[in-house]
Amino acid sequence: MSEQVVIAIDIGTTSTKILAYDKAGNTWAEEEQEYPLYTPHPGWKEQDPEEIFQALKAALRPVLKAVDEKGGIPGGVGFSAAMHSLIAMDESGNPLTGSLTWADQRSVEETEELKNGEGHEIYLRTGTPIHPMSPLTKLLWFRKHDQDTFERASKWISIKEYVFYRLFDRYIVDYSIASATGLFNLEQLDWDEKALELTGVSKEQLSDPVPTTHLVSGLNAENAKELGLPADIPFVIGASDGVLANLGVGAIDPGSVACSIGTSGAIRTVVSKPSVDPKGRIFCYALTEDQWVIGGPINNGGITFRWARDNLFPDIKQQAKQAGRDPYDDLAAIASKVKPGSDGLLFFPYLTGERAPYWNADTKGVFFGLTLDHSRDQMIRSVLEGVMFQMYTVVIALIEAGVEPVEFRANGGFARSELWRQIMADIFETEIMVPESHQSSCMGAAWLTMYKLGMVERLSGIKELVKTKVKHEPVKANSDAYNKLKPLFIRLARDLQSDFEVMADIQRQYAEEQA
């Protein structure tokens, strides 16, 4: 008998991934299509919305073919997408701009002005930290610097809205993507009047907000044919990639904390009502109407390990590659010979500015405590430790926001390293569970879709599906060593913030001289 599968589509910043799952969580097919990220000016990070839509279609065909060959029947389609993108559309439904991604930095000045003004008030109502990533600050930039586009824009939408518009000719946005715009009132589940007033954009210029389980069907004949899907197949709009990743690793119950470190990193947990932080450190985004994900992203996760590999150990990288080994494994072996605490060396991993908990784009990397006795061996270990100290400062912010952690589920590229996972357990002083996860945002989107379609009974049922790959217990002697350094890390990180800004100005002058 043929089995029903759900097609999950994750529209990311570097690629769109499409996976097909059955309700036991088995993957039936998988495809990925990459697309470019454009930098037309320094600090701008845009994509072409139409390139993304075409990539989606190209990735869908082989997935449907594989499902068909294995005897599966697509029963529904669900979506995940990157947060914070912004596209201006004209009256005829053509994009006037690229899709500005979360990484776009053009609104740095507007962000600073807003932080010094009513930014915090807006954050408390919208749950989106005041940062150049947010569509709110991007709109302020357009209003000030690109009057022409600002006046011609009939709609301001995200990349997921663009895809839905192309498929169904309707402008709708799920509560999750909307809650990451900085324009959406968490309590009212509607656009925030004061935020709109500030940007000069009207409600009519934004899409209609709908729940993340909102179902749409009725593809027009042309789209149905091109996609290779039946016209009446149900599409569930879904949520953002971050909140769906929590669902995808089974971190869905109160106190279950997802810790993810890939290129960047994040700590997230699900709460039952919107929650914000008087100190503005954490975000709050919707998963469903009664499940919200609070947490904090860090910019500098695995990217710092990559930097250290390339800049401190080019020789080891070369040797490992020639021998067919992963250079990261060789570096972890070197780091494992150094004692916890790196013989009194601390690394502040802010190589690309930092988001949570300080939300300061000007933060810089620091090695603190260097002596003649230290070599690059201690430096590499302190890089791994510094990322984890930084993750821990976000855990502290969550605890201060009222979260009582009961379990930590870790995933992302970092989890390939046994040493790095142990450092997490030792610094967090708790057991760390690493789930068997693969494309967790897609899995979350698929599960939400199955839940909506009645294929599975409970959203939290996903926990039973996600198996444990490995667990780590904290080692007391290691935690004791880290506890000596923790207060110093936290205090220095806080105290250095204004000096980072002075250094950022100096670095900008160097950059201008070189230009």
Which one of 63, 89, 186, 332 is in contact with ligand ADP (CB under 6 A)? Answer: 332
Q: How far apart are CA 510 and CA 515, in angstroms?
A: 9
Among 15, 154, 263, 479, binds ligand ADP (CB under 6 A): 263
CB of 351 to ligand ADP, least distance (A): 12
Could you identify the residue written with the tokens 């800004």?
501
What distance in Å separates the CA atoms of residue 249 and residue 259, rounded to the nearest whole number? 10
Tell me the per-residue interface mask from 55 to 84 with ligand ADP, x by CB under 6 A, - otherwise. Answer: ------------------------------
DSSP 292-341: EEEEEEES-SHHHHHHHHHHH-HHHHHHHHHTT--HHHHHHHHHHTSPTT
The answer to whether 131 and 299 have CB atoms below 8 angstroms apart is no
Q: Which is nearer to ligand ADP, 207 or 417 (CB)?
A: 417
- Is the CB of 408 or the CB of 451 nearer to ligand ADP? 408
Least gap, CB of 303 to ligand ADP (angstroms): 6
Decide whether 284 or 380 has the Cβ nearer to ligand ADP: 380
CB of 414 to ligand ADP, least distance (A): 5
Instruction: Output the DSSP codes for 31-44.
Output: EEEE---B-SSTT-
Instruction: Count Cβ atoms below 10 Å from residue 155 Cβ, excluding itself.
Output: 21
Radius of gyration of the chain from Cα atoms?
23
| CB of 31 or CB of 161, closer to ligand ADP | 31
Cβ 259 to ligand ADP shortest distance, Å: 12
DSSP assignment of 432-466 equals EEEE--SSHHHHHHHHHHHHHTTSSS-GGGHHHHS
Closest separation in Å from C-beta 130 to ligand ADP:
25
Which residue shows structure tokens 């449907």? 64
CA 486-357-141 angle, to 5 degrees, is: 155
Nearer to ligand ADP, 86 or 320 (CB): 320
Interface map 400-429 toward ligand ADP (x if CB under 6 A): ------------xxx-xx--x---------
Number of residues located near ligand ADP, criterion CB under 6 A: 16
Closest separation in Å from C-beta 349 to ligand ADP: 11
Q: Which is nearer to ligand ADP, 46 or 241 (CB)?
A: 241
Q: Report strand pairing: 72-81 vs 3-11.
A: parallel
Asked, as a colleague might, if the bond just before 357 is cis with ω within 30 of 0, I would say yes
Q: Which of 215/419 has CB closer to ligand ADP?
A: 419
Contacts of ligand ADP in 272-331 (CB under 6 A): 302-303, 305-306, 326, 328-329
Cα–Cα nearest to 285, from 300, 269, 306:
269
Which residue reads 């990743």 in tokens?
245
Among 234, 255, 262, 365, binds ligand ADP (CB under 6 A): 262
CB 384 → ligand ADP: shortest distance, Å? 8
CB of 59 to ligand ADP, least distance (A): 17
Minimum gap (Å) between residue 260 Cβ and ligand ADP: 8
* Phi, psi of 275, deg, nearest 5: -140, 130
Minimum distance from residue 262 beta carbon to ligand ADP (Å): 2
Residues within window 334-393 making contact with ligand ADP, judged by CB under 6 A: none
Q: How much of the chain is in helix, strand and coil states, percent to nearest 5? A: 45, 25, 35
| Spacing of C-alpha 161 from chain mean position | 18
For ligand ADP, which is the closer residue by CB, 64 or 261? 261
Phi-psi region of 182 (alpha: psi -120 to 50; beta: other; left: phi over 0): left
Secondary structure element (H or E) that encloses residue 149, with its range:
helix 147-152
As measured in angstroms, the least distance from the Cβ of 376 to ligand ADP is 17
Q: For ligand ADP, which is the closer residue by CB, 213 or 390?
A: 390
- Nearest CB to ligand ADP, comparing residues 415 and 459: 415
Of 292 and 392, nearer to ligand ADP (C-beta) is: 392
What gap in Å lies between CA 315 and CA 18, rounded to an integer? 38
Which spans of this chain sit near ligand ADP (rule: CB under 6 A)?
262-263, 302-303, 305-306, 326, 328-329, 332, 412-414, 416-417, 420
